Amino acid sequence: MIIVDNILVSDEIKDVFFECSLTACKGECCVAGDAGAPLDEEEISTLEDDVDEIMPYMSEKGKQVIKENGVFEYDVDGTYVTPLVNDEECAFVYFKDDISFCSIEKAYNDGKIGFHKPISCHLYPVRLSKVGNSIAINYHRWDICSPAIIAGKKAGIPLYEYLKIPLIRRFGDDWYKNLKLRIDEPKRG
């Protein structure tokens, strides 16, 4: 384990190689599972503010879920999560060529909104959890990401490098630099 500024980081962040391969996995992480993506209160407020700009990118089923239930629901633990369509895909998913994509991210990329997507989605395949007064960063191993492991090994991209932008988005540039220094320490010997 690596500790950077009271953030507990699993060794898998440096040991696992990863590069998302949407053509292989079809974006299944946005479709499979038993709950939507975790959200924090600030993200809910932002989604509520931006939903009119996001809606044009959404599927009809997703739009209906948002109109009926709003931009969030609760999972079994009482955590805020994105709503699901028929207990399957995230309501914010749209499909193109049998691949699932995020309508929030599409609206962001098209310059319609300033919110990239929920940080839990941006950071995937890592999950954040509370451990006492600390945050723990852990790799979430899931079979649907097997193609990303193969692609990451082939390209030589460790998970912390693949997730550089979302890690900086969540924890800041200085934190990421400190993480990289801690990872590189053993190499310098």
- Tokens encoding 109: 């990329």
How many CA atoms lie within 13 Å of 5's alpha carbon, on the beta-carbon side?
A: 11
Longest dimension (CA), the chain: 58
**Span 133-185, pLDDT tens digits:** 899 999 998 888 899 999 999 999 999 999 999 999 999 999 999 999 999 87
- Burial environment of residue 3 by CB neighbours within 10 A (0 to 12, 13 to 18, 19 or more): exposed
DSSP 131: E
189: confidence class by pLDDT, cuts 50, 70, 90: low
Compute CA distances 54 → 38, 109, 116, whole Å: 18, 11, 11
* Residue 159 pLDDT: 96
24: confidence class by pLDDT, cuts 50, 70, 90: confident
**Span 64-93, pLDDT tens digits:** 999 999 999 998 888 899 999 988 899 999
* Residue 144 pLDDT: 86
The mean of the pLDDT values for the chain is: 92
Share of the chain above pLDDT 90, in %: 75
